[in-house]
Chains A and B, each alone.
Chain A
């Protein structure tokens, strides 16, 4: 084995080790939270004391928890899809086109990330009150969508810019309409980026609490419920929510690995290797 081959082996091994370490750090909270959800003790303790399904029982027995979970999921699903659709179209237009004031518009799409949430919350309150959106689901969806837009616009902009425009031109010169190009050429090619953007949008909404505090009215999301009881204690019921969502995600992953069809691989961007 020559020196070069050896060094490249070594650097591959170092990369793998470092990555596994990083991945382990990323997953550490998950590895703690799942066992804690089966804990028999009153607070968050690790290693958990005793085994019980107490928190799962509480989650499903308490209509307020079910309601909060439902609101959170509906809100995150709706706002993330809306942000994905509107944000990626805008990103495409802003990259491919000399839209008037392009730089200013691109910058303003980043704005909701920059203005501190509590300040945005009071400002949004003033506007929502006038539009009759306070305390309504559409109002919440709008707020969460706007908070997610920067993530979608930033990631998709990069992806569009990196995508060779000549492919689109070729499709058009072959007679494809603009809509066809977007749905059949651009969107499939950018699928990994779109998926990542959607996930971020979902996660942003699923954890949002400051704007929700101000404008949600009597609607309750999971983070809102958690933060309201923070004066007294962390309610471990939330670990059961996390564990269930983790289980669903792992299940989807397992199905994807088992099916391993080309289509799924394209979606997660794994098909190129």
Chain B
């Protein structure tokens, strides 16, 4: 490479660098970036929240995938925070907060429509309700409770549940007769004893994509799964004994455009936008009146709604943030020895 050419490249580079630096100060941002989990959930964000946000502000919404606590921590530690919002699980939110990785949200700026209490945290915005529920092939003896799910005499065959302590342990307790509202604090010993009763008939899945296949191929008679198994595909599903949970958006510490992020969250709080999101993927938003805004066909597909809430259990994110490590370790020790 000639010296002249090198000089020209250096000069061009420094001009670009200067332009970039001054742009950071002078002009308004033209896009904001959020990190979310992608797939149909990501599409629903684009269609239901991104479009009205861009119409209102003229700012483009860029989605990056996937979000994770590891990425959030790396981002904050590296000091170059590129995203304004990141999607996390409930316990993830609490761990991130305990480690000082997120900032409080400005609820005055968000100026939300009515929201469920657990979705409106000072430091996190709950935007999606989902549930772990039970499903089987229509041939199998239908199940309505986790106790029946556990009963291998009533219906022989293998059952598949999530491989993660956070879901496996509560399921085991419900199957052992614990009332949904008395799940927490979790009795780990009792949960493991309950698992022990049917351990030879248990399959632990690590990717939910496995569950339809497990049912269709006859590997499992019952599965505990997310919203990837539908009645319309010929499965029997029962949402009533499910465990509901919330997915949150948090703002990383040092996020570059906090005000725009709050404006996006404002769009997420609007019930008519949430109804639009539910039409893309059967997941409910955080409005208490969401059911009034979506049509019956979609309602039937939603594993969470106020009616179901009466029978479903919930996940205690605070307990998992505090005791998750211990529970996970006990669970690993147990599965290593017994599986």
Contacts and interface: CB of A to CB of B under 8 A. Distances in A.
Interface of A: 42-45, 118, 121-122, 125-126, 129-130, 134-135, 213-214, 217-218, 220, 224, 227-234
Interface in B63-103: 63-66, 68, 70-71, 73-75, 77-80, 82
Contacts of B80: 129-130, 134
Nearest to B228: A232
Nearest to A218: B64
Interface string B198-240: 0000000001110011001000000000111000010000000
Q: Identify whether the interface residues of B are mostly helix, strand, loop, or mixed.
A: mixed
Nearest to A44: B213
B39 interface: yes
B144 to A, nearest CB: 25
Contact of A125 (B38, B63, B78, B212): B78
Nearest to B73: A122
9 contacts: A42-B233, A43-B216, A122-B70, A125-B78, A214-B74, A217-B64, A218-B64, A228-B39, A231-B228
B130 to A, nearest CB: 10
Contacts of B213: 43-44
Nearest to B41: A231
A184 B43 CA distance: 54
Given A229-B39, A232-B208, A233-B228, A125 B74 contact: yes
B82 A135 contact: yes
B247 to A, nearest CB: 11
Interface of B: 33, 37-40, 62-66, 68, 70-71, 73-75, 77-80, 82, 207-209, 212-213, 216, 226-228, 233
A125 B35 CA distance: 15
B62 A130 contact: no
Contacts, number: 75
Contacts of A122: 70-71, 73-74
A129 B79 contact: yes
A43 B74 contact: no
Given A129-B79, A135-B82, A217-B64, A231 B208 contact: yes
Contacts of B75: 125, 129
Nearest to A45: B216
Contacts of B227: 232
Contacts of A217: 64, 82
Nearest to A118: B70
Contacts of B65: 220, 224, 228
Contact of A232 (B33, B39, B216, B233): B39
A231 B206 CA distance: 9
A234 B207 CA distance: 10
B33 to A, nearest CB: 8
Contacts of B62: 218
A43 B213 CA distance: 8
Contacts of A118: 70
A127 B74 CA distance: 10
A231 B39 contact: yes
A126 B74 contact: yes
Contacts of A135: 64, 82
A169 B65 CA distance: 54
Contacts of B37: 228, 231
Nearest to B68: A213
Contacts of A121: 70, 74
Given A122-B70, A125-B71, 16 more contacts: A42-B233, A122-B73, A122-B74, A125-B75, A129-B75, A129-B78, A129-B80, A214-B74, A218-B33, A229-B38, A231-B37, A231-B209, A231-B226, A232-B39, A232-B209, A232-B228
